[in-house]
Amino acid sequence: MDTKHRILDEALTLFSEKGYANVFVADIAERVGIKAPSLYKHYKSKQAIFNAIVEEMNRRFSEEAGALRIDGTNAAADAEIYKHISEDELIALGNNLFLYFLHDDYTKRFRKMLTIEQFHDKKLADVYTKKYVDDPLSYQGMLLGLMVTAGVLQTEDVNIMTLHFYAPIYMLLTICDREPEREAEALKTMEAHIRQFNRIYARDEELIQSK
């Protein structure tokens, strides 16, 4: 990795731990192995480093979508899978979503940085909500909607069902960001959550037969 990218990487690590204001240009430079003034040959200011991180994240976000999928390839393939999903596969879906958000290094650092900086700039607030609320709800809602259409799940309101699926995952994620030592506990809760979600929303076979 060249110096220009190493600066972004080390800056992101520091910003995600201490917040923008508590990180000094000299700190970033030290981790890269250069002196602060050298850093200004790569970026014209501290703010420019921050902006470059956000821009790089925007580039990565398009690749990221794949990681939310059960087979990691494309949504069309997913659609087929979700029409015949089992409880264990639903748990795998939740776990994949959760573990990706939790452990993907770049994603995790960026999310923590946004958590700290979200009130500082309306644009950052919008990015946070889109990335960690609206986009996951939209994508998961599409998948759960497929399962409803296929008769695997049943509900009167897919959007609320999706909220019931994702909100606990989101909350457990924020707990783990804050207190990594609770990760094992969170994973158990995750699995119990999805098992109960499946029991609640699974199509009642007797109901189908009685029609």
Partner DNA sequence: GTCTATAAGAAGATAGAC
Partner DNA sequence: GTCTATCTTCTTATAGAC
Contacts with a copy of itself by CB under 8 A lie at: 16-19, 21-22, 112, 115-116, 118-120, 125-126, 128-129, 133, 155-157, 159-161, 163-164, 166-168, 170-171, 174-175, 177-179, 182, 189, 192-193, 196-197, 199-201
51: contact with DNA by CB under 7 A: no
- Of 25, 52, 97, 124, the residue at the interface with DNA (CB under 7 A) is 25
SS3 88: helix
The answer to whether 39 and 33 have CB atoms below 8 angstroms apart is no
40: contact with DNA by CB under 7 A: yes
Longest CA–CA span in the chain (Å) reads 76
The nearer residue to a copy of itself, 77 or 200, going by C-beta atoms, is 200
Q: What is the gyration radius of the CA atoms in the chain, in angstroms?
A: 20
23: contact with DNA by CB under 7 A: yes
DSSP line for 119-188: TT-HHHHHHHHIIIIIHHHHHHHHHHHHHHHTTSB--S-HHHHHHHHHHHHHHHHHHHHH-GGGHHHHHH
42: contact with DNA by CB under 7 A: yes
Q: Which does 13 bind (CB under 5 to 8 A by kind): a copy of itself, DNA, none?
A: none
Q: Could you tell me which stretch among 9-17, 28-36, 143-151, 170-178 binds DNA (CB under 7 A)?
A: 28-36
Q: Could you tell me which stretch among 44-52, 109-117, 141-149, 163-171 binds DNA (CB under 7 A)?
A: 44-52
Could you give the count of Cα atoms lying within 13 Å of 69 in the half-sphere of its Cβ? 16
Q: Which residues bind DNA (CB under 7 A)?
A: 3, 23-26, 29, 33-38, 40-42, 44-47
